[in-house]
Amino acid sequence: MSSETIYARVPTAMKEAIDTYATERGTKLTSAVVDLLGRGLEAVADEKSINDLLANLARTTAEKADVEAELVTARAQLATLSTFADRAGQRVGTCPSCSKPITGADLFAVTRCPACKQPLTELLAPKAGAVSTLDQREMLLLVGALGAVLAIAYLSTKK
Ligand SMILES: [Zn+2]
């Protein structure tokens, strides 16, 4: 290993400490100084990589918090959708043709009676004077659950 010479003035206390270090290890002053400087440089390099690791950790922690917040939102949305799906499966009235029960899904999604296969569109836009076979309370609950789903869809377009 090639070597260079460094002339450096050091505080007396430091010189004494280096002397003690050399004596304790049974080495010459030069070896002690080289050893100590090497360790010092290593410590400075480690400090930088520790700082890098800490910065990485801070960034990762922030990202984790973001992902957790998104997960909370997604769970809330899923719960709202589940509520709507449950509500859509409830009876909202009876078929005007065969008087069998029909659900919100039969009415809005399938638009036919599951029993007699008659179209249910008449229930959504009844002719004047026609008597509705829909349960108004169940219909309002279904519309309320649909409103919550629409709110989610609307808010998700605002992000
Ligand atoms: Zn029917």
CA distance 43 to 22: 20
Determine the pLDDT at residue 127.
Answer: 82
Distance 146 CA to ligand 1 centre (A): 24
Determine the pLDDT at residue 87.
Answer: 92
Q: Which residues surround ligand 1, an ion (CB under 5 A)?
A: 95, 97-98, 113, 115-116
Distance 29 CA to ligand 1 centre (A): 103
Where does residue 126 fall: left (phi above 0), alpha (psi -120 to 50 degrees), or beta otherwise? beta
DSSP assignment of the chain, as one string? Answer: -----------HHHHHHHHHHHHHHT--HHHHHHHHHHHHHHHHHHHHHHHHHHHHHHHHHHHHHHHHHHHHHHHHHHHHHHHHHHHHTSEEEE-TTT--EEEHHIIIII-B-TTT--B-HHHHSPPTTPPP-B-HHHHHHHHHHHHHHHHHHHHHTT-
Distance 117 CA to ligand 1 centre (A): 6
Distance 121 CA to ligand 1 centre (A): 12
pTM, whole model, 2 decimals?
0.61
Determine the pLDDT at residue 126.
Answer: 81
Residue 142: C-alpha distances to residues 24, 81, 86, 87, 119 (Å): 85, 12, 9, 6, 20
Per-residue pLDDT of the chain (159 residues; tens, 9 = 90+): 788 998 999 999 999 999 999 999 999 999 999 999 999 999 999 999 999 999 999 999 999 999 999 999 999 999 999 999 999 999 999 999 999 999 999 998 999 999 999 999 888 888 888 888 899 999 999 999 999 999 988 988 886
Determine the pLDDT at residue 37.
Answer: 95
Distance 112 CA to ligand 1 centre (A): 8
Distance 120 CA to ligand 1 centre (A): 8
